[in-house]
Amino acid sequence: MTSSGYGGLFGALFARGAVDLSDAAWLQAMLDTEAALARAAERAGLAPAGSGGTVTGIARAELFDNGTLGSAAATTGNPVPALVRELTRRLPESTAGAAAAVHTGATSQDIIDTAAMLLAARALDVTLADLSAAAGSCAALAARHAGSVMAGRTLLQQAVPVTFGLVAAGWLTSIDEARQELHRVRSTRLAIQFGGAAGTLASLGDRGPEVATLLGAELGLPVPALPWHTNRLRIIELAAALAAACAALGKIARDVILLAQTEVAEVREAAAPGRGTSSTMPHKQNPVAAITILAHTRQSPGLLATITAAAEQEHQRAAGAWHSEWQPLTALLTLTASASSWSVDLLRNLQVAASRMRKNLESARGLPQAEHIATLLTPALGRLEAHDLVANASTRATTENISLVEAIYADEGLAATLTNAGISRTEVEAALRPESYLGATDKFIRRALAAHEAVDAKLST
């Protein structure tokens, strides 16, 4: 099992996509940090010429045994001391002076925190690419179905008409907002950690800031104003941005699951041999992608809570709180990346039954447009009286199983009120057409699509 907790049996579900946060990936990120530090020490003149290259040459995860390092971690509280010893031991005898470049000025937290930043950068690059693809599919759905009327639902009941294009535009906007926050974190909040024993880099004298600058350049990560050993806001912002992306994807998956119910059948995932099958029921085609996305996103709030709770850390180095971040952060990066990959599959292949959407809306026999009738009556009667009259007609339509227009004109008082207000039956029937009560739907869709284009342009620069 990998350090993300999703190997083997569950890996295809919970570690989908190109992001690697396995034990081997963690080890390589720590080795990359040690190698970059060795090169920085050499550039600063604190290690012999060529030592940085020598260390880099052996800083390859396949040369080390994770099991051995893990066992040693139980003695020291983290795997870095054993890694440093093994890295030094593996230096060729002919370059013994290169040992001076290993772990120069660093403490274990410097290596693990910087490795975490490297892994986060790599994971976010892949996640952002997948979210971009998912957003593109949402934009296509919004444009294609701008006029596909369906029931808007509040509290799981039919409310007023909307279009599926507006639903997809809502999905699009939430993904784009998540993309922008992840991009901000990726661009501005990931940074090296390099402070030595207590954040002073005292072992390097006055050369510490210089080595830190060189380390950042070697790794392609920003150099913060100060070491952040017990200031965990960077980690919280990263975790919060990941959890927000999960929230956006979870909402989409939940919508798809509800719309794919047999009795609703307004969308479905693309069929494929064996996909969504049941172990007992041959007819089933379960919405596998949507279900799996929710299995990911349901875990993110707890992981974020753990990381946030761990941010209260004592003095210059934490006793346990820092250590508690490693697993939940790894899991949150893994789950967000995997959910993003699943979302590409879900949205790219989503099948939309526009005719079924209209049929379900029409099955309510005009009730979702009751608000429109009340709006027509408001100038003559006032909002509250108009609301109550139409509410009574709606109740009659439901209890007598008739259409709203039939219920309206079965009520002689309401019918007379409409006539006195100069509203004909033809106008009432026109007002009960779903397309007549879509408000700013088209404008909102256009805004979402324009905003999406702006986000794409911004994030591509």
**Residue 423 class from Cβ within 10 Å (0-12 exposed, 13-18 middle, 19+ buried)?**
middle
Residue pair 239/307 in contact by the 8 Å Cβ criterion:
yes
**207-227: buried (b, 16+ CB within 10 Å) or exposed (e) per residue?**
bbebbbbbbbebbebeebeeb
Classified as helix, coil or strand, 212 is helix
Give which of 109, 83, 320, 106 is closest to 211, Cα–Cα: 106
DSSP E strands, 41-142:
none
Residue pair 25/4 in contact by the 8 Å Cβ criterion:
no
Out of 278, 355, 363, 424, pick the active-site residue: 278
> Regarding beta strands 267-268 and 351-352, do their DSSP bridges make them parallel or antiparallel, or are they unpaired?
antiparallel
- The sign of the dihedral angle between the CA atoms of 371, 372, 375, 376 is negative
The C-alpha atoms of residue 291 and residue 295 are separated, in whole angstroms, by 6
Q: Is 317 one of the catalytic residues? A: yes
How many helices and strands (H and E) does the chain possess? 19, 4
Out of 85, 90, 144, 317, pick the active-site residue: 317
**Residue 94 class from Cβ within 10 Å (0-12 exposed, 13-18 middle, 19+ buried)?**
exposed
The C-alpha atoms of residue 166 and residue 171 are separated, in whole angstroms, by 9
Q: Is 278 one of the catalytic residues? A: yes
- Distances from the Cα of 407 to the Cαs of 141, 366, 368, 430, in angstroms? 37, 10, 14, 16
Active site amino acids: 278, 317
